[in-house]
Amino acid sequence: MEFRHLSPFGQTLYEQSTFSDNLEGEQTLLKLTTEQRFNKHFNAGFLLEDNPTDDKYPEANSTSIGEKDHYQRSLYVGFNNGNFLNTVTYLTYQTPDKTINQPFEWRPRVTSSYRLTSNYFDYDINAQYTDFYDPAEDNFDGQRRVLNQEAKLTLSNAWGRVDAGILAQYRGYDLYNYKTAAEETTSVGHLTHYLDTSIAFERRIGQRNQPWRQTLEPRISYLNAPYEDQNGVPNFDASEPTLTYSQAFNHIRFNGNDRIGDTEQVTLGVESRLYDENNNERWAFKAGQIFYLEDRYVGITGNTNQNVAIDDAKRSDLLTSASYNSLRYSLTGNVNYDPNNNEINVAQVIASLSPKDDIKINLSYLYSINNTQSDDDAKQASIGSIFPLNQNWSMYTQYTYDFLREDATKEVVGFGYENCCLKVSLSYQDWLNDSNEYDRGIFLQFILRSLSSAGRGNSEANIANTYWNQGNVGY
């Protein structure tokens, strides 16, 4: 069941799904969201996800919540005035399974940012205060104060660009340890500086009446982030991003506002693009590699020791990316090659084909090995398609195979019908859920166009959702 309301200030959406099982009984999920903008300065909203059944998770649901262990409840209020942005957020969770560790709650989080920019100079300042709460009260929690400032000088013209910048980061903590009933205060300050340079070359290729344009852009980046002891700094929300070509030119090693990574490195890269006669980008090629001048001593855990390196590699994988785009075809590929061990650690290919109107074919392949956590390793391929049978009827299929499991993890086949006022689909789906168990079911979905929808596929992303999104539902 789904209800929508559109007001002069924003929209509100209510979703509810009830699932009945012979063994587990009735299980319900509901979701209520609203986003309202009262004027050009003030906005507010909230999100409520609720599972009224303790210790149970519905095996299938028709809401946009999907499969998750923790259901979010949040409220925010924002004030924006040009480059001055402010938000106050209060965030809690419902975890029906009491044996699962609950995430930290924000009670509250206050974020403010301001940006001053010109043709030659950029200055960004971001301040954040968060009162973290551990719902189980069995580990630690506390308050965190964050201040990030970045100043950058830019010199550029038609053929080149130089960016020289300084990143100042401060974190202050007031912590409480439930195991020892002890209070602790700690802080860390850090200065990072960087120099990014690039040169752009361009030439015309092809016929004179329809010339294409090719660009070539070599890039060099130097980054120096000195080591700073962080043994007393907790981990509320730190994570380590997957290393890609774009990430190689980033100026921080970790996501979140807890961990400050140390490094001294030089990154070399080259980019080339092809534009057609209408100046549309058709091809893009990128390749780069990081060369480390110093070992890294700060890891995601925060247990730092300047005498024990957590990463002593002298260079990263060779990071490559290629993409092609046209009206009916698109292709994206990424490969991370380890020259030290002569092996590929990451390979990803995604293709979308639409050779004729209303025909869609999606192909993907993912190979990711030698991750920090072996559970993150993946080697799988997927194909999905949508074919019209006539003016009103379509058929869609999907098959996903996991080479590590040596088994299919998703199988979908379905039929859809649509006309000016109604859209209906019926599908059989067999998939591997988050509990590493196989689920299967028959799903019926329908939309009364310009009103609302009822029914949905299972919580996993699949080709049925792709067909469904073509409904272009409005208000």
Spatial separation of the C-alpha atoms in residues 233 and 366, rounded to whole Å: 35
Q: Are 286 and 321 in contact (CB under 8 A)?
A: yes
Q: Across all residues in the chain, what is the average pLDDT? A: 88
How far is it, in rounded angstroms, from Cα 242 to Cα 163?
Answer: 25
CA distance 447 to 454: 6
CA distances from 371 to 314, 337, 346, 374, 375 (A): 18, 13, 9, 6, 8
- pTM: predicted TM-score of the whole model, two decimal places: 0.85
pLDDT digits (tens, 9 = 90+) for 173-185: 999 999 999 999 9
What is the rounded distance in angstroms from the CA atom of residue 202 to the CA atom of residue 273? 10
Percent of the chain at pLDDT > 90 equals 61
Q: What is the pLDDT of residue 455?
A: 47
Contact 363, 351 (CB under 8 A): yes
pLDDT tier at 248, thresholds 50, 70, 90:
very high
Torsion-angle region of residue 308: left (phi > 0), alpha (psi -120 to 50) or beta?
beta
pLDDT digits (tens, 9 = 90+) for 196-240: 999 999 999 876 777 899 999 999 999 999 999 998 899 999 998
What confidence tier does 267 reach under pLDDT thresholds 50, 70, 90? Answer: very high
Checking if the pLDDT of 349 tops 50, the result is: yes
Residues 6+ apart with CB under 8 A from 303: 231
Encoded tokens for 297: 């001593």
Task: List, as one string, the DSSP characters of 372-392.
Answer: SSGGG-EEEEEEEEEEESSSS
pLDDT at residue 469 in the model: 47
pLDDT at 163: 97
DSSP character string of 405-468:
TTEEEEEEEEEEEE-SSEEEEEEEEEEE-TTS-EEEEEEEEEEETTTEEE----SS--HHHHHH
The rounded distance, in Å, linking the Cα atoms of 145 and 169 is 11
Contact 415, 395 (CB under 8 A): yes
Q: What's the CA gap between 466 and 385, in Å, rounded?
A: 9
Q: 169 forms bridges with which residues in the sheet?
A: 148, 190
Residue 96 three-state SS = coil
Structure tokens at 460: 């996993």
Find the mean pLDDT for residues 388-407. 90
CB distance 64 to 15 below 8 Å? yes
If phi > 0 it is left, if psi is from -120 to 50 it is alpha, else beta; for residue 392 that is alpha
C-alpha–C-alpha distance, residues 46 and 369, integer Å: 39
Higher pLDDT, residue 456 or 409: 409
Least confident of 79-93, 310-324, 424-438: 424-438
Torsion, CA 350, CA 355, CA 356, CA 362, rounded to 10? -20
Cis check: omega of the bond before 226, within 30 degrees of 0: no
Average pLDDT over residues 417-438: 83
- C-alpha dihedral over 53, 54, 58, 61, to 10 degrees? 50
Give the pLDDT confidence score for residue 245 in this predicted structure: 93
pLDDT class of 436 with cuts at 50, 70, 90: confident
Radius of gyration of the chain (CA): 26
pLDDT, position 215: 96
Per-residue pLDDT at 456:
46
- Beta strand 140-157 with 263-275 is unpaired
Q: What is the pLDDT of residues 141-164, one digit of tens each?
A: 999 999 999 999 999 998 999 999
CB 323 within 8 A of CB 331: yes
What are the pLDDT digits (tens) for 309-343?
999 999 999 999 999 999 899 999 999 999 988 99
Residue 86 or residue 465, greater confidence: 86
Give all strands (DSSP E) within 95-181, no chain letters.
Answer: 105-117, 121-133, 140-157, 160-177
Asked whether the predicted pLDDT for residue 38 surpasses 60, the reply is yes
